[in-house]
Amino acid sequence: MQEDFFKTLQENYQKGVFTVPTTFYFSIDDIKKTLTVDAECCRVEDGKTVENADCVCKTSREMFDKILNKGYRPGMMDFMTGAIKSNAPQLLPQLLVAFGR
């Protein structure tokens, strides 16, 4: 399911949500992806392809599915309990908007 999401990102990207190049690194259980977005497009790469991503997000497949497919919006407790780990959680809602979620 999560792999399918990453495969459809480029076709679902809404231009203009991000105005400057921004990198995300996702670690979702055994799935590792680097996502680069800017004003015009997005690029998905397997693995960690940048030294320091603007936003790192580590979570479980279950939590990722809940956010993507069930409309769940994480709260502070999800980050405080470690269900989601991120160095820049403020970028994650903007990323969802960029993909129509």
Backbone torsions φ then ψ of 69, nearest 5 degrees: -110, -10
The tens digit of pLDDT for each residue in 33-70 reads 999 999 999 999 999 999 999 999 999 999 988 988 88
The tens digit of pLDDT for each residue in 39-48 reads 999 999 999 9
What domains lie within the chain, and their CATH numbers? 2-98 (3.30.1050.10)
Strand order in the sheet with 22-28: 42-46, 31-37, 22-28, 55-59, 84-86
pTM score: 0.88
Residue percentage of the chain with pLDDT more than 70: 96
Q: H or E stretch including 5?
A: helix 2-7
